Amino acid sequence: MSLTPRQSLLLVLLTLTWGLNWPVMKLGVTGFPPLTFRSLSMWLGLPVLFAVTRWMKADLRIPHRDWPEVAKLTLTNMLVWHTVSILAVQALSSGRAAILGYTMPIFSAVWGRALFGERLTARQRIGIAAAAVGVALLLWHELAQIAGRPWGAFGMLVAAAAWGLGTQQMRRTHLAASTIALSWWMTVITTVVVTLLAAIIERDRWHAPPPAIWFSVGYNALLVFGFSQPVWLVLARTLPPAASSLSVMMIPVLGALSGAWWLGESLHWQDGAAIVLMGAAIASVLWPRRISAGAGTDRRSPAP
């Protein structure tokens, strides 16, 4: 399947938006409460996302019987990821956080095997081993630093593991609601919960955001929650699996390089080795297998 010029442009913009967002998030939580930053971004992003649902003429109604399933999908796909990852970014460089966060496809493969009996190919097992070595290198460097905060690395892995589980659950959900409707309600629920957590935990640290923080909030509101999320939902259903895989593989690399260039973060050999290992691991898990003529096509589900 060949990409249209429009699909190619949107894929490039999506990769740039998500990749550059890692140093933007790091800037946003430096000296500002992280959960408050996340909730501000989501509240400002909701009107944009709602406008997208109206433009797509999406039916946002969810039957009462389906709300427990929506709550489960929200927990794994959005709530844990958006809460834990923004806390972990405070304790890590943006590049390191990006590398660890995008171990999600590896966790998804492990969950698929452990919970749903999916068979792992030889190259997928090799990929998981490569990812484990990459994570070990990053954790080793964090533990070796006197001022390091290894809990940030563990937190990012927890967030990636939850997102990986949520991806498997999304592939198996039988909800009748459209994906964009699910995205809308999952975002609404996550926004409310994160706001409550910010009010409980960070209220004593609330203050007016300076211009740099507002820039980060606006970037996340418009380009992440308002643009990237709905665009991914559209592209993931039409792009070849290889194209989606390449976009995922480039995001942590872009995050690490942009953090070093923009924020002056130091890149160590462990980071470079981890980028190579994670790239190989993600490729081994996501790259589609060859199929024989007449066999069914490999379908991808949208990620949050």
Give CA–CA dist 227/229, Å, rounded. Answer: 6
- Does residue 300 fall inside a structural domain? no
CA atoms lying within 13 Å on the CB side of residue 196: 6
- Does residue 110 fall inside a structural domain? yes
- Does residue 16 fall inside a structural domain? yes
Write down the mean pLDDT value for the chain.
82
Asked if 32 and 202 touch (Cβ cutoff 8 Å), the reply is no
- Does residue 291 fall inside a structural domain? no
The highest-confidence range among 139-153, 169-183, 201-215, by mean pLDDT, is: 201-215
Amino acid at 174: H
Supply 263's token pair.
Answer: 């924020």
- Does residue 34 fall inside a structural domain? yes
- Does residue 267 fall inside a structural domain? yes
pTM of the model: 0.82
Per-residue confidence (pLDDT) for residue 302, from 0 to 100: 37
Per-residue confidence (pLDDT) for residue 72, from 0 to 100: 94
Q: How far is CA 245 from CA 89, 205, 236, 241, 270, in A?
A: 24, 40, 10, 6, 23
Give CA–CA dist 288/284, Å, rounded. Answer: 9
Asked if 286 and 244 touch (Cβ cutoff 8 Å), the reply is yes
Per-residue confidence (pLDDT) for residue 278, from 0 to 100: 75
pLDDT tens digits for range 188-197 = 999 999 999 9
Give CA–CA dist 138/144, Å, rounded. Answer: 10
- Does residue 304 fall inside a structural domain? no
| Residue ranges making up the domain that contains 144 | 5-286
Count of domains for the chain:
1
Q: How many CB atoms lie within 10 A of CB 269?
A: 9
Measure the N-to-C terminal CA separation of the chain; round to a whole number of Å.
24
Q: How many CB atoms lie within 10 A of CB 161?
A: 21
- Does residue 79 fall inside a structural domain? yes
User: Which one-letter DSSP state was computed for residue 61?
Assistant: -
pLDDT tens digits for range 82-135 = 999 999 998 888 888 888 887 887 788 788 888 888 777 777 778 778 877 877
